[in-house]
Amino acid sequence: MFSKVLIANRGEIALRVIRACRELGIDSVVVYSQADKDAEYVKAADESVCIGPALATESYLNIPRIISAAEITNVEAIHPGYGFLAENAHFAEVCRDCKIKFIGPSPESMKLLGDKVAARDCAIRAKVPVVPGSDGAVTSEEHAVELAEKIGYPVMIKASAGGGGRGMRIAHNEVNLRTAFHSAQTEAGAAFNNSEVFMEKYISKARHVEVQVLADEHGNAVHLWERDCSMQRRYQKVIEEAPSPGISQETREALCKSALRLVKESEYINAGTVEYLVADNGEFYFGEVNTRIQVEHPVTEMVTGVDLVKWQILIASGQKLTLKQKDIKVNGSAIECRINAEDPACNYRPCPGKIEHFVAPGGIGVRVDTHAYGGYTISPHYDSMIGKLIVHKPNRQEAIATMKRALHEFKIDPIKTSIPLCMNIMNHPDYIKGNIDTGWIERTF
Ligand code: MV4
């Protein structure tokens, strides 16, 4: 087991990892930028190291500075959290070269699954259903037009190096497609330094359902059932829940089994998420694999009782996964609301600033994962998430009632937050029926 771990992240996820380390008896070191120097979560770690100015490229994204902090503090492992360097295969490789254990999958699986064309091929080999689409990359406009005729419109052009909704274009006809093909290529080149694109049939009104997996280096792997993340706007998840209210038990089992086939095929190790699009007829298709702990991991923790961050650390230290698939049961219903500093009057733009008054909800079935408190300033330099409000109850109806009660208790003043949006959703008949898809928020609000 490790005796000391460095956390290459900030905010609520840094605090989440610090908590896991303390419970495991591991010393934690947190790195921080000058913007985060006074934050309380930094003091929760056993040690802290300033790695640079607020600008992320000079701190949380700066590999030499993070590795230097790891060397100085003599840690055995680095937990990357989510965002920043969490899915950077090069960073995982540098850690390995420096004999520091990266708490996550190997650089090879990160590279494989980060390349969406290669990941799709891997899914095909694993007999995971994929959306009808191109066999590999689409290399010319004429090639794109020919393929789209075969597949049938609408089609989607996706960047090989994209993910999470970045670098995608929908085309409804040939004229659209010719433009979309070039703009997708150009955007992908600028954003990812890789202009390769591929094509899929566009699946409209799909749900976003993802399967949590854990795998160790001894060949053991389990799934921890699914999360429904259909409640999104502009590819930003707003509310997540487990179990998914919109799939049958048969679909659920097929989905989870196929996720494990992909884990085997990609020789994946540590925590990961296999994302699917689920059409309203219950057919499901591979989306992508997220090779990190995700923001929404707590809903899975609440319904399964499994501490995912602890397992990430145990697996990285070489321990065997002692969890048995038959013992991983879904108990009740969990919902998570992301509480962001954003202004609905300003088209939900990030609205950072100082929190003067902060009262977090509590009581039975309520969990708040946050680094914020009264007197804390949400920095304009990083993402605008203040924290996550998670509820766990015996069924979905009670979970919604508890979420409404907890949202009502939550006081964050004077900054604008997504609490009112979350409350509106909790009160909406479509949400109460579980009748939602990834376009619902944009259509409804
Ligand atoms: C799609 C799709 C429709 N058809 N692929 C967005 C994130 C990325 N993992 C895949 N995404 C989508 N891929 C095909 N062939 C629709 C989406 C999509 C979406 C997916 C998940 C969650 C929210 C979304 C919002 C818009 C579009």
Mutate to test the pocket of ligand 1, among 130, 166, 168 (most ligand atoms within 8 A of CB): 168
pTM listed for this prediction: 0.97
Q: Is 437 in the pocket of ligand 1 (CB under 6 A)?
A: no
pLDDT value, residue 250 = 97
Which pLDDT value is given to residue 346? 80
Q: Where are the domains of the chain?
A: 4-103, 132-201, 207-444
Q: How far is the CA of 161 from the centre of ligand 1 (A)?
A: 15
Q: Which of 229, 277, 289, 441 to mutate to test the pocket of ligand 1 (most atoms within 8 A of CB)?
A: 277
- For residues 328 and 36, the answer to whether their CB atoms sit within 8 Å is no
From 235, 273, 289, 294, mutation site for ligand 1 pocket: most ligand atoms within 8 A of C-beta: 235
> Pairing state of beta strands 166-171 and 197-201?
unpaired
Distance 165 CA to ligand 1 centre (A): 6
Cβ burial, residue 357 (10 Å; 0-12/13-18/19+): exposed
Residue 275 near ligand 1, beta carbon < 6 Å:
yes
Q: Which residues pair with 170 in a beta bridge?
A: 156
Superfamily name with CATH number, domain 132-201: ATP-grasp fold, A domain (3.30.1490.20)
pLDDT of residue 379: 95
The stretches in the chain having pLDDT less than 50 are none
CATH number of 4-103: 3.40.50.20
Q: Smallest Cα–Cα separation from 107: which of 49, 59, 63?
A: 63
Both structure tokens of 259: 């996720």
Distance 19 CA to ligand 1 centre (A): 34
Helices (H) and strands (E) counted in the chain, each on its own, are 15, 22
Which H helix or E strand runs over 242?
Answer: strand 236-242
Q: Residue 376: what pLDDT? A: 98
Instruction: Give the CATH number of domain 207-444.
Output: 3.30.470.20
List beta partners, residue 385: 340
Q: Whose CA is nearest to atom 24 of ligand 1?
A: 438
Strand stretches in 291-381, DSSP E: 333-340, 342-343, 349-350, 353-354, 357-359, 366-370, 377-378
**Ligand 1 contacts CB of residue 438 (under 6 A):** yes
- Find the DSSP H helices in 50-139: 63-73, 89-97, 107-114, 116-125
The one-letter code for the residue type at 82 is Y
120 is catalytic: no
C-beta 301 within 6 A of ligand 1: no
Give the span between the Cα atoms of 314 and 323, in whole angstroms.
Answer: 12
